[in-house]
Structure 1
Amino acid sequence: MLLAFCISFNLQAQKVVSLSGANSPQDDMNPVWIGDNTLLFTRAFHPDNIGGVTDPGDIWMTKKSESGQWQEAVHRADLSTDGYDFSLGLEDYLTLLVYHTGGKRFGIYQYSKFGTDWNFLRQVSMVGLEELSGQVTGRVGSGGNVIFLSGKGKDSKGNEDIYVSEKLGPIEWSKPVNIGASVNTIGQEMSPYYDNKSGELYFSSNMHEGAEGKDIFIAKRMGEGWNNWSKPELWQQISSPGSEVSITFINEEEVVWTSTQNSDGFADLLTFETVVPLEIPEEFVAAAPEPLAPLEKPAKPKKVSIVPIYPSSAVGFPEVKMVEEELEAEENPISWFVVDAKNKTMVPFSISYKLGDATISKNASDSLKLSELAASELKEVKISAEGYFPKSVLLSDIKTGEPTVVLMTKAESGSMILLENVNFKRGTAELEGEDTKASLTELAGFLLENPSMKLRIHGHTDSSGDPGLNKALSLDRAGSVRDFLIEQGVPFESLRISGWGGTRPTASNATETGRSKNRRVELEVER
């Protein structure tokens, strides 16, 4: 049986079609070819998912018939949870690796093939996996000895970066390592696919030269290390005005990819209608590898002067000596790179900070030096832009030798922001600390300046303890935030609340670091 839901269009005179039975009105993404005419992919928010219409992604399967038709997709409950699930691919012929986040499972797990079924085997160990946040994606490199992952880590250059982990043993993998600035930018790099035979890395980026939205780029490994790559080249053949996010190769002549082209913003799985030669670049230009060790600071300039050994009032010619003094290098003003977090365009902005009871405002063109701000004992400055949520930047996060990147979230329907400085007394819904009140007072001011905005406040906890109590606590905390904003003059009807307990983690609940990230309050713009 084949579904009628199908799209087609011409891409550079080559007809592109959806995978008929593999597509739905929901998001269909992360295609992974595992042989035996079988394609696995992740389907989000489908009513048949284990978590129902709120489930962010279960694994589904479609098979390609001998006639080349894609059969109706089948839900693989044996590979799915009520959280977000995606297949990383085959570690070997009988072992599939799957990433889970949400519920009681977080991490990468092995599943063993038994006939047509996949049986849960065990969790693998990868130190540092829990440090990756954001939209985590990835793939086992062909050969099964490396895993490429994308996510936002402590050393990410922007949003999601691409990392690599090497296999150390049957269930042990090395800590993910950032593959460097040749591939990773201040934007998003995600959905890596590595071909061990050719040394080519396929990935999605919205910041490399030529990108329109997100497009597929190709970089070639240029040496033994994982930080030595060619200059990424845009894969023109599958580029479209939509967003291309992930690919998989069926064979050397067939490819399937995810795109939002012609699907109302939802992701579809696409391929060429007929087999066409794949136009993959044959020549790659080497890019300079990122240094593995931090560069030494340049030596300070020195001033040489002649100083008399004896007092200058001495009779005759005094003895002299050469004296070297270090001169302080002149400090450059802070350089800002303020961009829209979604489309990475530059945003006009202003800067403000508080000195005592006074608020100091600066234009983007005004010269500010970090040493001057630090001397005023400031902790942070605020970046404001019309139509965007204001963003506080800690002085400790401001760069001195390079631009300081600030990603701004537009105040539009669907946008979500984390309230970073909102804290509660342990185990209660009572707001705690002056920083919390200051942060919410600032938010209230922004909402009063934008009276037409309607927000939903989402409360979250970690998964420790009773799920029912956690959900109640998360709802109460969202209510406390709403109550404070109302006290500042924000209309009650502009604010709605939700409590999710520990059902929507952003990090592992196995560590205190992960649990602290999961205890959070978020704001969603509803209109």
Structure 2
Amino acid sequence: MALISLSLQAQNTQWASEVIEFSSQYMSTKYSANQVLGQPNSFPKGGDSKLSWSPKEEDGKLEFIKVKFDNPMPVQQVVVYENHYPGAVSAVYLYDENDKEYLAQEFKVKSTQRATRILEVNFPMTSYNVAAVKVEMVCKKVEGFNQIDAIAISNSTEKVEVKIEVAEGVVFDGELEKLGPGVNTDYAEQSPIISPDGLTMFFIRRNHPGNMGGVDDENEIWVSQLQNDGTWGIGYNIGPPLNNTSNNFVASVTPDGNSLLLGNAYNSDGTMSAGVSISKRNGTRWAYPKTQSIDQYVNNYNSVSFFMSNSGKYLIMAIEGNDSYGTMDLYVSLRTGEGKWSKPINFGKQINTAVDEFKPFLASDEKTLYFSSYGHPGYGSADIFITKRLDDTWTNWTKPKNLGSVINSDDWDAGYTIAAKGDYAYFNSAREGSSDIYRIKLPQALQPDPVVLISGRVFDHKTKLPIEATVYYEFLSDGSDAGIAHSNAETGEYKIVLPYGYTYGFRGYAKGYISVNQHLDLVEVSEYKEIETDLFLVPIEVGQVVRLNNIFFETGKATLKKESFPELNRVVELMEENPTMKLEIAGHTDNVGSETSNQQLSQSRAEAVVSYLVNNGVSGANRLIGTGYGERMPIADNDTDLGRQLNRRVEFKILNK
């Protein structure tokens, strides 16, 4: 997705890039001298801003700030953005590359009686390169905290225009739609979370009579289902144990719809405390949420946001940590085990500002991040932004871009969420007073990279009954973890979302069973797709046959490819866990070529698998038998490509448990 910076139209304009010295600052982060650097953050609205420089004392002594510019040049204009109680500027000075001082202009200090002012200081083109500028203020003559948002120099007297940096191609085909009465009421609706299949919405209702604690119950979780006509059905309270008389909200839902990430820790005595929890669906009911353990978790703020990636590997949070740049910063923790997460990693200065970044949403491609911010330049209150992760450090991001004036208003806009397909965006906004939930069809420029939604059921291979199982998926290139999901205990249904660019293996797991693995090549990027694939688990019983779907050989040879190793390593683990187990490894071919060559190839491939298993830890005499069956035992018609593909296989048969 291409993003473009719609920046300044004035010819050769520069913004202050470094603070050289200053008289005082209100705080070391918010309202600090460094907040004057770069483009304005509070304009065009202006007003008190933590992202501007404010002297320490209100109506105090003579204050000043001196700033540097990256590329010294002749100029004929300095622009000072006074965002709060303007009129205190008394003088502007220029400095050449040898730090020689020149007076640009002096001013009569008095209140402008306006909320903001853009002070344009024009003069003849300098004969020297301007490397720095100093602005002085006599604060005691203008009531209130006098703040400066930004300082610019220009080689032109033309008006310096600042435009909000908006993602390229933000042209919407349809109108912004306020959802109907099934979702929006006279009360506040916020924090929509759309399931990856796009069919279920979780949201909160504030102080609604239908909350468990009535109108005194601030936040409770409600649910709506997408109807056949494209509207959202009548919302219903999700009920206990997820709702109680405390603050309840859904932070994210897994692709299978069987797990919810919930704000706060649900304690065993029914009370709530700070933290985050996960509840798993047991049939049609939600289990009591289990608290997640985050290593060295600290939140010094009175609010929090969470989001768990579709893979279940990454937990994103908006908290005030000890290393935050302001109040709420965005962080990520990596899954280290069941219910366990690593120490949070700060996303860095490209994302986080001196004020709040919150309500993160990581798209199904696990690269495209949407979030709300008071700190990045916007249209008023909090706006929604888009950025892309550039590597696995989680600290390297593209510059955040505003989603534009259709989605963002001059009021509070947050809670952005989209389904895996990426066609519609949902968010909440207070643009009409009370907070409501809206949706809009997304242009291609704002859609994340396409993904594939895999769905199906997990079955017992012998009884054909559904099974509650954990679904693991991995990158076949190295066997590393790609994600985790869970099937429904009653129906066996599961769903996973796979980004393009990789070849995946995926399988169900349940105690007492052997997984029949599947694989899918998604190296070539295409469009959004939905694929149905059932998974089977074979009971560990004598006589059961398990096909090894993720075994790959060089064409016409018995040389194993590295993509086979994760599958074979699980067979090693199986035999280590069952030390008396004995297997026959059977090789099969299609009928292309001579019967003799096919027999030899199948025998060689079976023996190659046996050798790998022995060399990687399977011990004990005669526990493995390699047998080649050639083309003698087809399971499909050899007259089609698909049939021949099914007949070319390696499988094992349990001879002894």
Look at both structures and tell me which one has the larger radius of gyration over its CA atoms: 2
